[in-house]
Amino acid sequence: MPSASDHHLLLSRLRDEIRRIERRPARRGGALPCGVAAVDALLPGGFPCGALAELRGGPASGKTAVALGAVAGLPRGALAAWVDGRRELYPPAAAALGVDLTRLLIVRPPGGEEGGRLALWAAEVLLGSGAFAAVALDIPLARGWRGLEPALRRLVTAAEQGGAAGLWLSPAGGSVSGTVRPPASLRLDLRTDGRRLVVARADGAGLAGCGAEGRGAEQRGAEARAPAAALRRAGGVHAA
């Protein structure tokens, strides 16, 4: 269980980072291109800014690669944040995919229910700050957590106020598996079919797939997740 000192340290570091960049203007309206053909075929213009989008899929489904593609394609000078509640993002691999680590703020909260609530608080602050063009959220949640539903609703309001494109990474199965689905305005289901990345709108609005790039997305998503030994370090916030 995370200690009070762990929480205090994470909060302090996050506040310091937000203060450092909070004077940047909010990004409102428009869309954030992804750069992955199967996704771009479904989303003309890209992920909506000022809203949450859910990327749902199992291991090696390509969802991490899609989120990293959006971050890598940000305009010069734009900032991104990644709430890494699962501690699976491997910064060197993300850099190899084109992500500018000097423009990426990574938040790694402690584990457990208290850590999950802290991750949601950090996500709300980041989304609403107006400092980030994209905020990726990889937060393991479970039903029954105290205050979970209001916290999730506040994320929607924060994204609207700050103008960020929120990218929520969810495991396959959603509510069937007992996990929690975020209140997203856009939902994509991702999977691989042989060498193809297949992406579908969860609302049935469309289906797209690509061949060689789909295989690359699957591989890149796996490569961007660190070996366990590489991530055995204290949680916290850092500009990677």
- How do residues 45-73 score in pLDDT, each as one tens digit? 899 999 999 999 998 898 999 999 999 99
Domain ranges of the chain: 4-239
Of 61, 66, 57, 53, the closest CA to residue 99 belongs to 66
Stretch 94-115: mean pLDDT: 93
Residue 168 contacts residue 182 (beta carbons within 8 Å) = yes
- pTM to 2 decimal places: 0.77
Q: Degrees (nearest 5) of the Cα angle 57, 227, 124?
A: 55
- How do residues 180-196 score in pLDDT, each as one tens digit? 788 899 999 999 888 78
Look at residue 36 and tell me whether its pLDDT is greater than 80: yes
Residue 5 confidence (pLDDT): 63
Q: What fold, for 4-239? A: Rossmann fold (3.40.50)
Stretch 109-115: mean pLDDT: 88
Stretch 145-170: mean pLDDT: 93
